Every structure is written in C-alpha cells, then in structure tokens.
C-alpha cells in the first residue's frame, strides 16, 4: 500500500505519546498532524480532512468521547476512520463505539502492532475525494 498522501491526525494530551507515535508513522510514510486536545482536534480535522484520526479518551477540555461525537457531526469527515487508542479498559469500549469510533485499541501497544493495524484500517478505506491542495479553494 502506498502510504504517501494519507493524512493521520493524532490527538493526545501527552506530548511524549504524540512524538513517539508520530515518529513511527512518519517512518512509514504517513503525513502526520497533531492536536493536544479535543477542541483543537475538531478544528484541525475540518481543515486537513484526515483519513484516520487516532484519538485518546482521557483528555482535558473535551474528552475523546465528546470529541468523537463532534467529529462525526462534520459531513466532510464521514470517510475518516476514528480509532481510539487509550489506556482505559474494556468498560469504555462500548462508549467509544456509541460515540462513533470505528476501532478501539488499548495502550500500551507496540509500534509494530499499531502500524499493522493502521495499515489494515486504511487499506480497507478509500482515500477521501478532497485532496489537500483542494482545501484552499473550498475555504
């Protein structure tokens, strides 16, 4: 799978987590964007139209569940995969799916497993029809 052109938005309030995941996904060829909170993630996602959003559940300002519900209200993100990557256990899994998530992964997770799952998720989805270069003409 050619990974160039795939945009991934990472949302986590812990900068160490963002940097670690970013590093590993950039090595794979993905275009990575980051947000430290849910409010910023909703805005950023609307701007960049990511193919996949990797979202933490426990964050200040707006938690991941609320963020996911807000993201799902944006029709431009209807083809974006939303994946929860969180330290919370199975009891929150159903809450995540009810909020609109497509997948749920539990921390800690090895970089290899995370990359393999992201590759599989994106391989099963079409790229959104809006190209990054087209964004400036739609604003």
- What number is the average pLDDT over the span 11-34? 96
DSSP SS3 for 25: helix
Domain boundaries along the sequence of the chain:
7-128
> What's the pLDDT score for residue 138?
34
> What's the pLDDT score for residue 139?
30
> What's the pLDDT score for residue 86?
85
d(CA 134, CA 116): 29
- What number is the average pLDDT over the span 2-18? 92
Contact 68, 76 (CB under 8 A): no
> What's the pLDDT score for residue 124?
85
pLDDT at 16 over 60: yes
| Per-chain mean pLDDT for the chain | 87
Domain topology for 7-128: Rossmann fold (3.40.50)
d(CA 44, CA 71): 10
Q: How sure is the predictor about 129, in pLDDT bands with cuts at 50, 70 and 90?
A: very low
pLDDT at 2 over 80: no
> What's the pLDDT score for residue 12?
96
């Amino acid at each position: 799978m050619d990974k160039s052109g795939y945009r991934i938005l990472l949302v986590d309030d812990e900068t160490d987590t963002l940097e670690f995941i970013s590093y590993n996904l950039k090595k794979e060829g993905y275009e990575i964007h980051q947000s430290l909170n849910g409010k910023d993630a909703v805005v950023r996602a609307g701007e960049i139209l990511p193919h996949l959003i990797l979202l933490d559940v426990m964050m200040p300002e707006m938690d991941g569940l609320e963020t996911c519900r807000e993201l799902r209200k944006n029709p431009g993100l209807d083809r974006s995969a939303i994946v929860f990557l969180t330290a919370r256990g199975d009891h929150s899994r159903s809450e995540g799916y009810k909020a609109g998530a497509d997948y749920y992964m539990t921390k800690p997770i090895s970089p290899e497993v995370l990359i393999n799952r992201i590759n599989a998720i994106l391989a099963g989805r079409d790229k959104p029809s809006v190209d990054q270069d087209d964004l400036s003409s739609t604003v």
